[in-house]
Amino acid sequence: MITAHYEIDASDVEKAAMALAVGQSVGNPDIRALRDSDELLARHQARVIDIEGGRVTVEFPGTNFGESDGIAHIMAVLLGGQVDIDHIEGCRLVDVDFGDEAGRFSGPRYGIEGIRQLTGAIDRPLIGGIVKPKLGLSPRELADVCREMADGGVDFIKEDEVLGDPPWCPLADRVPAVVTALDGMPTIYAPCVTGDALDAVRRATLAYELGASAIHVNVWSGFGTFRAIREQVELPLFFQKSGDRVWTTGHFAMSEVVLYKIVRLMGCDMAHVGMWGGYLNESISALEVKLGVMRGSWIGLNTLLPSFSCGAHPGLVRDLGERFGNDIMISSGGAIHGHPMGTTAGARAFRQAIDPVGTTPELDVALELWGGIGSPR
Ligand SMILES: O=C(O)[C@H](O)COP(=O)(O)O
Ligand SMILES: [Mg+2]
């Protein structure tokens, strides 16, 4: 059984809730068919079990889900046809208990602990480096950028989400170039393989064969694609959220709790969580809710490492760690490559913000440029 919690906007919430339950299980929300026997309805019709104001809880019988019905099918049931009913003016999927149906999903292969083991970053926030310029680099230049970031001490590198498989920097050429450049270094490298399911899985497999040590996929690939890669490619998987607000805001949407539950269920090991400070300045409470979903104990699954980015700079590092704990990654592109002393210095400044040893000229320059340590709010 799957239990879904909704916030419904309708003049008649009871009618809306019934329309949702019936329409998303047995049939037309208004008209019963001749074959709608009592027995069939008892077995398959979703049940409205609670209504409090606009908050509605609906149970979907487990028998409605076959073993190979993945997240696409489940979401079509939980957040599908109700958007096509006029008298339901808004419907937000606030939370989901996937019940026994969660058992078909494997969750993160590595989790936070696994990522720590792979990188050797055991007891501190991790630092991620994002390749920038996002576009326009040749494989050789991209490899140089990655090497410079690794020299500066980043634990993880991802290509930015707008890098696909262009002819001037194809995946097949750039992955070996970067792998060679990072040879012997502990840094994890995640090429971006965002694409339609077929292409994303093919590209992830190719990246694995060419020696990549992680995989980066944007939300637009679709949740099932993350799961397919998780099952077929034995590498840490990074979820990049840009685009998520299309699904989490508006009259018909899922909450971020649901989003990150799905991301964890699909088997991602690291996920872009948002940012505190920077050009995406989310509230502490909203971030803590997401962190709870990613790092809290949940149905026996491995945890998911939250990656803060979108305007991160060294002046924010200490506060991020103090506020949200060690089990985070802080990822940056702009403030690494925009450091006046260059990319390696930019990466080093982030590391110095975590573990300052001796003099810290790179950090000092960064703090001068982007602001000193101090809470964003
Ligand atoms: O993909 C990301 O996380 C963003 O592009 C962040 O990049 P920035 O550090 O340049 O803001
Ligand atoms: Mg980006």
Question: Is the separation of the CB atoms in 350 and 147 below 8 Å?
Answer: no
SS3 98: coil
CA of 331 to the centre of ligand 2 (A): 10
What confidence score (pLDDT) does residue 377 get? 44
Are residue 301 and residue 256 in the same domain, yes or no? yes
Residue 217 has pLDDT above 50, yes or no: yes
Of all protein residues, whose CA lies closest to atom 1 belonging to ligand 1? 160
Dist CA 374 CA 97 (whole Å): 39
CB-based neighbours (< 5 A) of ligand 2, an ion: 160-161
- Total number of domains in the chain: 2
* Mean pLDDT over the full length of the chain: 97
Closest of 266, 252, 104, 247 to residue 197, by C-alpha: 266
Are residue 240 and residue 366 in the same domain, yes or no? yes
Are residue 255 and residue 312 in the same domain, yes or no? yes
**Which of 241, 310, 320, 328 is the best mutation target for the ligand 1 pocket, counting ligand atoms within 8 Å of the beta carbon and taking the most?**
310
CATH number, domain of 217, equals 3.20.20.110
List ligand 1's pocket residues with C-beta within 6 A: 130, 132, 160-161, 272, 309-312, 331-335
Are residue 185 and residue 212 in the same domain, yes or no? yes
> Do the domain assignments include residue 267?
yes
Are residue 192 and residue 243 in the same domain, yes or no? yes
Are residue 83 and residue 8 in the same domain, yes or no? yes
Residue 88 has pLDDT above 70, yes or no: yes
What percentage of residues in the chain have a pLDDT greater than 70? 99
What confidence score (pLDDT) does residue 356 get? 87
* Mean predicted confidence (pLDDT) in 234-252: 97
Residue 376 has pLDDT above 70, yes or no: no
> Do the domain assignments include residue 247?
yes
7 confidence band (pLDDT: 50, 70, 90) = very high
Are residue 38 and residue 136 in the same domain, yes or no? no
> Do the domain assignments include residue 375?
no
Are residue 146 and residue 194 in the same domain, yes or no? yes
Dist CA 156 CA 253 (whole Å): 32
> Do the domain assignments include residue 214?
yes
Are residue 307 and residue 159 in the same domain, yes or no? yes
Are residue 179 and residue 324 in the same domain, yes or no? yes
Domain boundary residue, one of 59, 89, 104: 104
> Do the domain assignments include residue 376?
no
* Mean predicted confidence (pLDDT) in 326-347: 98
344 confidence band (pLDDT: 50, 70, 90) = very high
Closest ligand 1 atom to 161 CA? 1
CA of 256 to the centre of ligand 2 (A): 19
> Do the domain assignments include residue 284?
yes
372 confidence band (pLDDT: 50, 70, 90) = confident
* Mean predicted confidence (pLDDT) in 2-30: 97
CA of 358 to the centre of ligand 2 (A): 33
Domain of 239 in residue numbering reads as: 111-370
Task: Name the DSSP class of 326.
Answer: S
Are residue 90 and residue 21 in the same domain, yes or no? yes
Closest ligand 1 atom to 132 CA? 10
> Do the domain assignments include residue 150?
yes
Of all protein residues, whose CA lies closest to atom 3 belonging to ligand 1? 309
pLDDT tens digits along 164-194? 999 999 999 999 999 999 999 999 999 999 9
CATH number, domain of 25, equals 3.30.70.150
Domain boundary residue, one of 52, 75, 104: 104
330 confidence band (pLDDT: 50, 70, 90) = very high
pLDDT tens digits along 264-316? 999 999 999 999 999 999 999 999 999 999 999 999 999 999 999 999 999 99
What confidence score (pLDDT) does residue 196 get? 98
For residue 124, give the amino acid letter: R
Residue 369 has a CB neighbour count (10 Å cut-off) of: 15
**Which of 331, 336, 337 is the best mutation target for the ligand 1 pocket, counting ligand atoms within 8 Å of the beta carbon and taking the most?**
331
> Do the domain assignments include residue 377?
no
Residue 374 has pLDDT above 60, yes or no: no
**Which ligand has an atom closest to residue 312 CA?**
1
Residue 375 has pLDDT above 90, yes or no: no
What confidence score (pLDDT) does residue 224 get? 98
What percentage of residues in the chain have a pLDDT greater than 90? 97
- CA atoms within a 13 Å half-sphere pointing along the CA-CB vector of 274: 21
Residue 126 has a CB neighbour count (10 Å cut-off) of: 23
Question: Is the separation of the CB atoms in 326 and 112 below 8 Å?
Answer: no
pLDDT tens digits along 114-158? 999 999 999 999 999 999 999 999 999 999 999 999 999 999 999
What confidence score (pLDDT) does residue 373 get? 57
Are residue 236 and residue 282 in the same domain, yes or no? yes
Place of tokens 């919430």: 13
CA of 160 to the centre of ligand 2 (A): 5
Domain boundary residue, one of 104, 132, 166: 104
